[in-house]
Structure 1
Amino acid sequence: MRSGSKNFLSALDFFLLFFSSEAIATICASTNKYARTRIVERPTHARSRGSWEEVTPSEMLQFIGLVIYVGIVKVPRLKLYWNMGSMYSGLLPPQIMPRSRFIALLTLLRVPDLDDASQLPRGKLRHVWWLLQHINQVSAKLFQPHRYLSLYERMVNSKGRSGSRQCVSDKATKRARYKLWVLTDPDTGYTVQVSARTGRRVQPGPHGLAFDLVCDLCAIYLDQGYKIFMYNFYPSARLFCHLLERRTVACGTTGKDRRGFPAELKDTLWGEKAGRGDIRWLRNRNILYLQWKDRRVVNMMSTMHTANQKVTAERKGSTWTQISVPKPLLIHDYNAGMLGVDKSEQMIECYSVLMRSVHWWKTLFFHCIDIAC
């Protein structure tokens, strides 16, 4: 953490750095305002909105605490947390607040809304943009990343309906999920910055979506000598040259069909004839393009390596014997740099507080709680 930080004794102390008293008070004010408007415009006798009492900061913290608790202690249905006459009796929620109050808060929860969508680079995110910006600002204020940074995409499960949602079939689960773009610290798995995508309706800049995302996520860390690792969606010759101009080097996987990839390395005949551990490379405009044959050909781009830097990798031979294969240092460093992705995903997914919600933006609200935890 940055110098000047206090000594923290519990997980709650760290959580309150993100959801501070000011942030909680702001969420309470927005929730109360939305509740009054909703009840006047849409009278209902439902328990969630029938008799509304304004939420206080302490009650909002209790609500968030129960949301976290529900993510840790799993039962088949939400109502069973308050079932006093079954095998689930003795759980914590009935001691904190009635079920009707919890559902009311869950239904009417609101964060500050930006009325003017033109102020947003991503108009659909106006319901949660304030919270995402708040999390990013606090993350940058409290933590100075080490020498390396990792860029990747994170998928958040959701049952909400929105054009921001995507169904990605090659991931672990074939369900609709929101795509977030995340910058992490590889050493700790700390989420440094996060950005959400709202679909194809938002037009990217002249250099493409990947270029815009990298520049947005890394803006406050440019010109400081950082080394950035990224997977194959991001790398391009234009991006790497731009980062070099900003005193930032980068490394990542790429595809042979990517614009700017050298034509000399696009033929497939070399990959069929090359042996395990063989490489070929080409340097153009301070960018190293390298291909390494392992089980298949791996394509890499880097502005922080040379082609003759190598390490030794252990592999299984055809007779299940251990063999040594020369491996470019570029590949070794990339694998080490992207370990932050695994650490970050592990910390997020172990006790996810994701809850079913019709409102798509609440999925991102719950994910912000995951980041703060």
Structure 2
Amino acid sequence: MRIAIKSRGTKNKTGFTHIRKTKRKLEFKMADLPSNEDILRDYFDSDDNDSDFEGFSEVESDISIPEESSSEEESEEESESEPENEDEWTDTLRGVHVERFHEETGPVFPANFDVQTATPKDYFDLMFSPNIISDFVQHTNNYARWKMEQKGEEDSVWYEITEPEMKAYLGLNIVMGINQVPSYKDYWAKDLFLGNEGVKSVMTVRRYEKITEYFHVSDRRSEPARGTRNYDKLYKVREVIVMAKNNFKNNYRPSGNLAIDEAMIKWTGRLSFKQYLPAKPIKRGIKVWMRCDSENAFLTDFDIYLGKGTANSEHGLGHDVVTKLTRDLTGKYFRVFFDNYFTSVQLMQDLLADRIYACGTVRMNRRGFPDDLKVRLRLQRGQSMTRQKGNLTASVWQDKKPVAFLSTLSDPRAEVPVTRQHGRQELRMTQPHSANEYNKYMNGVDRHDQLRMKYSLGRDSKKAWKYMYFFLVNCAIVNAFILFSASSTRQNSKKRYTHLDFRMELVHQLIAGFSGRKRKAAENVQGVQDAGNYQGHESVHMGTKRRCRVHLTKKERKETVFGCKVCNVHLCKDGCHFAYHNGQ
């Protein structure tokens, strides 16, 4: 064996001589050592009988040797000792745990509220407090005085409004949304086919214009100036917003399924928080976040969007909107549905932590969405791919286009049959449970919008706050109609009592025979200013012919198509209506 030794000494003869001597001594010593072959030969070729192998010693060893086990037992032990990481997406699907919804639902009526006799105005008063009408009267009169002080001259045409007149003014605005004409002045036109005799009988066009000019729903004198600390962009309608929110929540308990979406109030003028949404039917206007009951489209909560604030959002606007609108649902296991504008993995996890289940479409480029589902998947129509992370599931379903869903309430293994029309051919396929639930319960806000936009409210104005005010009144009417349809047991003159019937009866009850004209417009106008009108109990066409109640008490048979919708009785137009309501 040769060893190479590198010397760091000086390169002289003395140094090299010393190295050679040391190397030679080491070689002699190593030559005397036995080789590996000699050692092995001594062990295996020895003739010594004492060295025969007699087995292992009975002395206990400190090394433990595990017993053999079957592959099934090993897999069970591994699964128990190493649970699957629920913080990562996996394609191993299993059931999810969803608690049942146990809260009470439906309308909440006052103690003296009778659904057998309650009128549309009674339901409307639940949503739009009657006391606030008195506040409108006070604010309008105060604003008129303030305006005249600013001008330094009196308005000779104006005189203070009263509560009955304010209700009649509201009723006229509801009528104008039902019976629309090119200009508000056309309601007072002399043309027989253009003018409206009912509107003419309530007030003159000049009076309507003056009320519209000074109409206010807030105190103008105490309004904070722009730029001050207490400035509120919604000050002019803040009282109405607070009132409507409280009434919507206090008089109705929502079902377990709720939808959150956006709505638009049309407005094309200048406004700091005006929004532009090119994909919406109303492209320019004021955005309102809405939360509606998916079962009947009842508006349970809303929030008017004031634009991007100065404070940065940690998780985005959609996350903040849903979190704010679900603040009162925490811990009750509600199921909330929303579209891809709001949906994110972080939002789903935060709602689940608050014991709120959620489902919604999602944009595939959202942070946290499974990477293997972000790529372009070549799926046939009706096929889907699903990944799971705890109670959260992510699915991509191929319809005409791929649609992605996030859900915390859906079993990832469940698929629901669905049909699609392809020309004349009907396609039968399946879709994930999350897609089926989304399609079933997401339309709450859209249905509310359909009811609200079918009959608009008010006329054009230069003030954005008036559009917001009429939006709130319209939402209150829609909510009142929904409650009426769900709970009323009153016998109506029509077999099918429609939304239009509800609004028209509400109009009659708000106007209640009020007439601000010194001279009546016509002698033959029904049910507004004639002698047969007593606080809204006007003689109207009932739609069907039945026996007159007055003649029935006299045991006389006389049928008529006229009667009182408030009392829901048929009464002859000539004399019986007057006699019935005067106790004769």
The TM-score with structure 2 as length reference comes to 0.59
- Give the Cα–Cα distance (whole angstroms) in 1 for the partners of residues 466 and 352 of structure 2: 38
For residue 68 of structure 1, give the secondary structure of its aligned residue in structure 2: helix
Counterpart check, 1:166 vs 2:275: yes
Quote the offset at 1:204 in angstroms: 5.5
- Give the Cα–Cα distance (whole angstroms) in 2 for the partners of residues 237 and 183 of structure 1: 21
Counterpart of 1:191 in structure 2 is 299
Quote the offset at 1:351 in angstroms: 0.8
Contact 1:149 1:186 in 2 (8 A): yes
Name which of 351, 365, 372 aligns with 2:455: 351
For residue 197 of structure 2, give the secondary structure of its aligned residue in structure 1: coil
Contact 1:311 1:327 in 2 (8 A): yes
- Give the Cα–Cα distance (whole angstroms) in 2 for the partners of residues 183 and 97 of structure 1: 38
Q: Which amino acid aligns with 1:166?
A: Q
Counterpart of 2:370 in structure 1 is 262
CA deviation string 1:188-207 (max 9, x = no partner): 11111111112224545433
Report 1:76-95 matches (<5 A).
76-95=182-201
Quote the offset at 1:50 in angstroms: 5.0
Quote the offset at 1:64 in angstroms: 0.7
Contact 2:274 2:286 in 1 (8 A): yes
Counterpart check, 1:299 vs 2:407: no
Contact 2:336 2:358 in 1 (8 A): yes
Counterpart check, 1:19 vs 2:123: no
Report 1:45-194 matches (<5 A).
50-112=156-218, 115-116=223-224, 118=229, 123-174=232-283, 176-194=284-302
Q: Quickly say closer, same or farther: Cα 1:107–1:259, change in 2 above 3 A.
A: farther
- Give the Cα–Cα distance (whole angstroms) in 1 for the partners of residues 281 and 465 of structure 2: 22
Residue segments in structure 2 that go unaligned for 5+ positions in a row: 1-106, 478-584
Residue segments in structure 1 that go unaligned for 5+ positions in a row: none
Q: Which amino acid aligns with 2:239?
A: W
Quote the offset at 1:136 in angstroms: 0.9
For residue 243 of structure 1, give the secondary structure of its aligned residue in structure 2: helix
4+ residue stretches of structure 1 with deviation over 4 A?
116-120
Quote the offset at 1:285 in angstroms: 5.1
- Give the Cα–Cα distance (whole angstroms) in 1 for the partners of residues 333 and 282 of structure 2: 38
Instruction: Say which is worse superposed, 82-91 or 29-38, in terms of deviation.
Output: 82-91
- Give the Cα–Cα distance (whole angstroms) in 2 for the partners of residues 306 and 312 of structure 1: 15
- Give the Cα–Cα distance (whole angstroms) in 2 for the partners of residues 54 and 207 of structure 1: 51
Counterpart check, 1:7 vs 2:114: yes
Quote the offset at 1:100 in angstroms: 1.7
Q: Quickly say closer, same or farther: Cα 1:259–1:118, change in 2 above 3 A.
A: farther
Counterpart of 2:393 in structure 1 is 288
- Give the Cα–Cα distance (whole angstroms) in 2 for the partners of residues 208 and 22 of structure 1: 39
Quote the offset at 1:239 in angstroms: 1.8
Q: Rg larger in 1 or in 2?
A: 2
Quote the offset at 1:223 in angstroms: 1.6
For residue 355 of structure 1, give the secondary structure of its aligned residue in structure 2: coil
Instruction: Say which is worse superposed, 110-119 or 149-158, in terms of deviation.
Output: 110-119
- Give the Cα–Cα distance (whole angstroms) in 1 for the partners of residues 253 and 230 of structure 2: 29
- Give the Cα–Cα distance (whole angstroms) in 2 for the partners of residues 34 and 90 of structure 1: 30
Instruction: Say which is worse superposed, 129-138 or 215-224, in terms of deviation.
Output: 215-224
Identity of matched residues, %: 26
Q: Quickly say closer, same or farther: Cα 1:296–1:85, change in 2 above 3 A.
A: closer
Counterpart of 1:278 in structure 2 is 383
Name which of 325, 333, 342 aligns with 1:217: 325
